[in-house]
Amino acid sequence: MMKLVPALLVLEDGSSYRGWTNNFYATSIGEVVFNTGMTGYQEILTDPSYSGQIVTFTYPEIGNTGVNLEDNESCNVTVKGVIAKNISSISSNWRYSENFVSYLKKNKVLFISGIDTRQLTRHIRYFGSMNGGIVSNEILEPRDLLKKIVDIPKMQGLDLIKKNTTEYVFSWKGNTKDVWNYSISKNLISKKIFKVIVIDFGVKFNILRQLSFYGCSVLVLPATASYDAISRYCPDGIVLSNGPGDPSTANYAIDTVKQLLNSNIPILGICMGHQILSLSVKKETYKLKFGHRGLNHPSGKSQKVEITSQNHGFAVQLNYPNVLRNSNELQITHFNLNDQTLAGISHKNKPVFSVQYHPEASPGPHDSDYLFYYFVCLMKQNLHSNKSK
């Protein structure tokens, strides 16, 4: 039986919630956000896009299936803390290797359970995502924790990419067994092996897996890689990965993508990559009130809808500095149909496109797998047109 001790959650607006944890004398501070997914907590905890955040799970039961050796999306647990209605210390699943509570403790992730996550989520939806902290101590006074919370930087203006990108260039040699291949047809897999450079803003492993499924040789480069360093590899295509923080602070990446756009190499942008790509063509980003984090966001256009997995707190501005709808360079391919924010673009004259959501969808539905196939088709078409010149 898990031994619990009192814990306290405090938000920067002074709101406080009392619950329970199993860690004595621990404190965790970060941006408090919520995720509406009913599954995928292990992928969420290891997704670098959640770096610096305390995640509230709206689904009431977390941890029932434990954790396993296959579902990690990076080598590290990147969240600052976990908030849930109930966290199970007992696990039951044919793949599990460790129970959830011991996994959190081993990775030094503080949790708080036993609070009304419905009320907390409504509070965040109304007032917006904000910094907060969890503390477990003998004296649990909200004002003491609040002093620490107001001193940490807000997510807007924070560059977290450099803390989450790879330090070294590496070739992806991960698992590509059929067990990971949920929806693609073997007839669609390319017989030609395309060399793809992934610029790592905080990449998820399943992006690398999906590229491998479609016959790509994947090389991962740091987010700070220069245009010259990327060009030396002579890639057939470039993927701009997901990642955490405020995209407008990553000037080093924006400048590199500006140069890459002139090279006519096919480019796919995912989430942070979509935002970096948009900033490189002089669009602007802004912070959403409470972000999009969940597995059931409808996205699409012209009466075609995909149910998508999303995880982001920023979005591309539709109307700044020009109206994107009337752009000579870009066309809109997807909206988030919950709030009509921009969810996908493509370039009218170049083999370039991006989406604000996660087509690799781990966790989540696989409606958007076709985007990887589309990317391979662009590389194939670009290769043929270059040979014919």
Terminal C-alpha separation, the chain: 70
Question: Does 358 qualify as catalytic in the annotation?
Answer: yes
Candidate list 31, 123, 271, 334, residue with the active-site label? 271
Q: Is 289 helix (H, G, I), strand (E, B) or coil?
A: strand
Helix residue ranges per DSSP H, 244-318: 251-261, 272-280
Amino acid, res. 97 = S
Question: Does 360 qualify as catalytic in the annotation?
Answer: yes
Distance set, CA 187 to CA 179, 213, 214, 215 (Å): 17, 12, 10, 11
Order the strands of the 170-171 sheet from edge to edge.
170-171, 216-222, 194-200, 237-240, 267-270, 352-355, 342-347, 330-336, 285-301, 304-316
Q: Is 353 helix (H, G, I), strand (E, B) or coil?
A: strand
Question: Does 271 qualify as catalytic in the annotation?
Answer: yes
Amino acid, res. 353 = F
Per the document, the length of the chain is 389
CA distance 202 to 224: 12
Using alpha carbons only, what angle is made at residue 199 by residues 197 and 202, rounded to the nearest 5 degrees? 135
**Inter-residue long-range contacts of 337-340, CB under 8 Å, 24+ positions, other chains counted:** 337/297, 337/298, 337/299, 337/300, 337/305, 338/292, 338/297, 338/298
Candidate list 297, 334, 358, 366, residue with the active-site label? 358
| Residue ranges with strand state E in 182-236 | 194-200, 216-222
Question: Is-contact 316 278, C-beta < 8 A?
Answer: yes
Phi then psi dihedrals of residue 308, to 5 deg: -125, 155
Comparing CA positions, the residue from 316, 276, 268, 269 lying closest to residue 292 is 316
Instruction: Using the structure block, give the residue that is written with the tokens 């917006």.
Output: 128
CA distance 64 to 317: 40
* Exposure of 261 in the CB half-sphere (CA atoms within 13 A): 23
Candidate list 31, 43, 73, 360, residue with the active-site label? 360
Q: Tell me which residues are annotated as active site.
A: 271, 358, 360
